[in-house]
Amino acid sequence: MFNWLKTQPVKPKTLGQLGEEKAQDEYRKLGFKIIAKNEYNKKGKQLGEIDFIALDKHRIVFVEVKTRSSSADRFGSGAEAVNVFKQRKILAAVKMYFLRNPKYAVLAPQIDVCVMEYSELDKTFKSAKIIGNAVEDWN
């Protein structure tokens, strides 16, 4: 009778969620298929998280998304946020993904950083910058 009382209000998406969704759209425009989102080791120690994984005929791309508003300079740029410690976590997560999904080992792996910028006032999308092969140390 009062089912409307049981429904939870819809929470607005965070800036990070908006950025990840828009970044996935940017990769789709480039011809990629998104095969996983928010990938991490679900069993045991969490080594790191991959925001999403994109696939085309020859490559598997692990994408770290950094979303900033226009005035987010106080936190540094999105690219600066992917420091050596973050890179190590991403590499560990990538290696774990390949252990669980060996069928993708035939594809050329790549780790990208996708920096998304939004307006501070109304959270409208301003720009996307894909830094291809941003993490190269696979050892």
Nearest C-alpha neighbor of 96 from the set 23, 21, 42, 35 = 42
pLDDT in tens, 63-116: 999 998 875 556 666 666 777 888 888 998 999 899 999 999 899 899 999 999
CA distance 48 to 38: 10
Confidence at 121, pLDDT banded by 50, 70, 90: confident
Residue 115: the pLDDT is: 93
DSSP state of 57: S
CA distance 16 to 28: 18
Q: Which CATH topology does 12-131 take?
A: Trna Endonuclease; Chain: A, domain 1 (3.40.1350)
Sorted by where each begins, the domain ranges of the chain are 12-131
Nearest C-alpha neighbor of 25 from the set 14, 13, 37, 11 = 37
Confidence at 33, pLDDT banded by 50, 70, 90: very high
Confidence at 51, pLDDT banded by 50, 70, 90: very high
Task: List, as one string, the DSSP characters of 84-116.
Answer: HHHHHHHHHHHHHHHHH-GGGGGSEEEEEEEEE
